[in-house]
A and B are shown apart, each in its own frame.
Chain A
Amino acid sequence: MCMAPKPWTFLSFPETKTYFAHFDLSSGSRQVQAHGKKLADALTLAVSHLDDLPAALSSLSDLHAHKLKVDPINFKYLSHCLLVTLARHHPGNMNPEVHASLDKFLSYVSNILTSKYR
């Protein structure tokens, strides 16, 4: 499941592919799957440091600010696709409170990852 949001993001929001021109973006791409796993691992780390997210994500913030420079809007697209993926894997279980908590968490993570941009 951790692999799912990436291709969904690329197809629903094609502009996100501009950051992966060097990737094989065809269906089932190992590069996309591997990168999706990296992302999932980072979110797992974040979940285990909910009380100290800025420190836990500091090196990722540095990476996004100084090297990757991903436009902030893309964090919203990916967060939305993560929520869609979770919803379709847990039909009937993603109630409004869970939905709100997840959205808030992903928004906070996104803010931290773009916090050193300027």
Chain B
Amino acid sequence: MVHLSSDEKGHITSLWGKVNIEQTGGEALGRLLIVYPWTSRFFDHFGDLSNAKAVMSNPKVLAHGAKVLVAFGDAINNLDHLKTTFAKLSELHCDKLHVDPENFRLLGNIIVICLAEHFGKEFTLEHQVAWQKLVAGVANALAHKYH
């Protein structure tokens, strides 16, 4: 469970309301594939991921990134119940997708960097503190059912 003060919850929900979820999701997944190219191991079937331009314009990357960030939105609506919210997705990532949970932490940090890059000075120190807690909570929840 992630412990967020009411101020921290406010920093999360207020910023989330301004995020273009589909666009940011695509960008976040694209950056993950560019900055940490070994993450492409899960996306052999996505086509051309050979360079940054190819990644950022790949429709499968953009679509899947959007899907991931929409699911992330479930966290924001269930801040006090992350483990139960992500139980099924955790089982899926372990049993079917075989994703190393370290990748959840990598993507979480990429999301934070995307937010900083989009919002600039509006992304304050307090925002980062709250969002780091959230992405860590989501990563832990997604890893929770691993065995």
Q: What residues of chain A have their CB less than 8 Å away from a CB belonging to chain B?
A: 7-8, 11-13, 80-81, 83-85, 87-92, 94-97, 99-100, 103-104
- Taking CB atoms, residues of chain A closer than 8 Å to B120 are 88-89, 91
CB pair A100–B129 under 8 Å, yes or no, is no
- Taking CB atoms, residues of chain B closer than 8 Å to A91 are 116-120
Known: A83-B113, A92-B118, A99-B34. 5 other contacts (CB 8 A): A84-B113, A84-B123, A96-B27, A97-B34, A100-B35
- Secondary structure call for the B interface: helix
- Taking CB atoms, residues of chain B closer than 8 Å to A85 are 116
In the complex the two chains form, what is the Cα distance from A13 to B125 in whole Å? 12
With A12-B129, A96-B52, A100-B52 as known contacts, state yes or no: A88 contacts B123, CB within 8 Å: yes
Q: What mask results when residues 98 to 125 of chain B are scored 1 for a CB within 8 Å of chain A, else 0?
A: 0000000000010011001111110101
Q: Which of B34, B56, B117 has the most CB of A within 10 A?
A: B117
Partner of A8, one of B109, B119, B128: B128
* Minimum-distance CB pairs A-B, first 7: A91-B120, A87-B116, A87-B117, A88-B116, A12-B132, A100-B35, A96-B34
CB distance from A5 to the nearest CB of B (A): 11
- Taking CB atoms, residues of chain A closer than 8 Å to B56 are 96
CB pair B123–A99 under 8 Å, yes or no, is no
User: Does any Cβ of A come within 8 Å of B83's Cβ?
Assistant: no
- Taking CB atoms, residues of chain B closer than 8 Å to A103 are 35
- Taking CB atoms, residues of chain B closer than 8 Å to A83 are 113
Q: Which of A80, A92, A96 has the most CB of B within 10 A?
A: A96
In the complex the two chains form, what is the Cα distance from A80 to B132 in whole Å? 11
20 A-B Cβ contacts within 8 A? A11-B128, A12-B129, A12-B132, A80-B109, A84-B112, A84-B116, A84-B128, A88-B117, A89-B120, A91-B117, A92-B117, A92-B118, A96-B31, A96-B52, A96-B56, A97-B34, A97-B52, A99-B34, A99-B113, A100-B52
CB distance from B116 to the nearest CB of A (A): 4
CB pair B34–A87 under 8 Å, yes or no, is no
In the complex the two chains form, what is the Cα distance from A80 to B118 in whole Å? 16
User: Does any Cβ of A come within 8 Å of B137's Cβ?
Assistant: no
CB distance from A74 to the nearest CB of B (A): 14
User: Does any Cβ of A come within 8 Å of B25's Cβ?
Assistant: no
- Taking CB atoms, residues of chain A closer than 8 Å to B129 are 11-12
